[in-house]
Amino acid sequence: MTATLTRADVAAAASQKRRRRAPGWLAVVPLLAFTAVAFGLPAVAMLNGAFTVKDPVSGTSSYTASNLSDSLQGPYLTALVGSVKLSALSAVIAAVLGLPLAQAVVSSRSRALREAVLTASGVLANFGGVPLAFAFVATLGNAGVLTVHLHLADHGWDLYSFWGLVLVYLYFLIPLMVLTITPALDGLRAQWREAALNNGATGVQYWRFVALPVLAPSLLGGFVLLFGSAFAAYATAAAMVGSAVPLVTLQIADALSGNVLVGQENVALALSLDMVLVAGLVMAVYLPLQRRSARWLDA
């Protein structure tokens, strides 16, 4: 009886081992295959198109860098620079404003306040796009409630401008910053503050020499994330300013839908490639920072 049981067990264990080998990587295959097609194809198409020109007469294609150089000139360059400027500025402001807000929440002992602010941040960080644009149009647009009641137009207020966009972008960037930086602030240990005071540091010196340097990777990481988010944003700008403010996303959309000139699709792809390069650069900065702050704050 015992003997048969043991033999059965061994057999079961062996077959288990044999079977366990296969599903391991097989389960990953669909994911990788799907991404290869759904993401890889468009990416390759973009890359290929960015370096291709099609002769309108003969219909033949040839490889060239002219799309790319076109995309870095004239109105396209203006749009690219405009996007970078808008994203960088909004991200800096959101980071600077989001930090004290997150600190106000973290340093509070009220659990309800913390939950409320974090939940609200979760919603607002996702509240981009068209609805956000319309909410601001209703508030601060030409016929907006505040514009009309406070006669803002007399003071030169214009929502459909660079600074108007900054104001709107902050609406989802600040909550995003709060979500990003809160875990880092939670990771600041009370002992660090006490050890600093114990070593003769004032409260200000503690922030200057301990808290901010420790938070620096997270702050920079947060900034990078916000930058990427603002840089990629299209819907808000499209719904709000049309093309009053030159932005690279608006340029790509116009070129793609043939609004400006026919045959600009490949320049749109080159612009897309520019965007990917900027975003990739930003990611390359972000990842090592993320790793460092994780090491400091989780120890």
Only one residue has tokens 């296969």, namely 22
- 8 or 194, CB closer to other proteins? 194
Q: How far is the CB of 23 from other proteins (least distance, A)?
A: 7
Give the footprint of other proteins on residues 217-236 (CB under 8 A): 228, 231-232, 234-235
120 is a site residue for other proteins (CB under 8 A): yes
How buried is residue 294: exposed, middle or buried, by Cβ count under 10 Å (0-12/13-18/19+)? middle
Give the footprint of other proteins on residues 58-87 (CB under 8 A): none
Q: How far is CA 74 from the centre of its chain?
A: 27
Give the footprint of other proteins on residues 89-108 (CB under 8 A): 100-101, 103-105, 107-108
Q: How far is the CB of 58 from other proteins (least distance, A)?
A: 15
Q: In the set 11, 34, 96, 153, which binds other proteins (CB under 8 A)?
A: 34
Distance between CA 252 and CA 258 in Å, rounded? 10
Q: In the set 185, 249, 264, 289, which binds other proteins (CB under 8 A)?
A: 249
6 is a site residue for other proteins (CB under 8 A): no
Q: In the set 8, 11, 14, 45, which binds other proteins (CB under 8 A)?
A: 45
**Structure tokens of 279?**
């975003």
Q: How far is the CB of 3 from other proteins (least distance, A)?
A: 21
- 131 or 288, CB closer to other proteins? 131
Q: How far is the CB of 170 from other proteins (least distance, A)?
A: 8
How buried is residue 39: exposed, middle or buried, by Cβ count under 10 Å (0-12/13-18/19+)? exposed
Question: Binding segment for other proteins among 2-10, 88-96, 152-160, 267-275 (CB under 8 A)?
Answer: 267-275
CA atoms within 13 A on the CB side of 275: 29
Q: How far is the CB of 240 from other proteins (least distance, A)?
A: 10
Indicate if the alpha-carbon torsion angle 233, 239, 245, 250 is positive or negative.
positive
Q: How far is CA 287 from CA 93, 204, 224, 233, 279, in A?
A: 22, 30, 10, 21, 12
Q: In the set 1, 2, 4, 19, which binds other proteins (CB under 8 A)?
A: 19
- 69 or 242, CB closer to other proteins? 242
What does the per-residue mask of binding to other proteins show for 123-152, with x meaning CB under 8 A?
xx-xxxxxxx-xxxxxxx--xxxx------
294 is a site residue for other proteins (CB under 8 A): no
Question: Binding segment for other proteins among 62-70, 73-81, 88-96, 290-298 (CB under 8 A)?
Answer: 290-298
**Structure tokens of 19?**
């079977």
Q: In the set 9, 199, 260, 263, which binds other proteins (CB under 8 A)?
A: 199
Q: How far is the CB of 119 from other proteins (least distance, A)?
A: 6
Question: What are the strands, taking DSSP E only, across the chain?
Answer: 52-54, 61-63
* Long-range residue pairs from 150-155, CB within 8 A, at least 24 positions apart, any chain: none
Q: In the set 2, 4, 16, 73, which binds other proteins (CB under 8 A)?
A: 16
Q: Give the DSSP letter string of 195-256.
A: HHHHTT--HHHHIIIIIHHHHHHHHHHHHHHHHHHHHH--HHHHHHHTTSS--HHHHHHHHH
Q: Which helix (H) or strand (E) holds 85?
A: helix 74-106
296 is a site residue for other proteins (CB under 8 A): yes
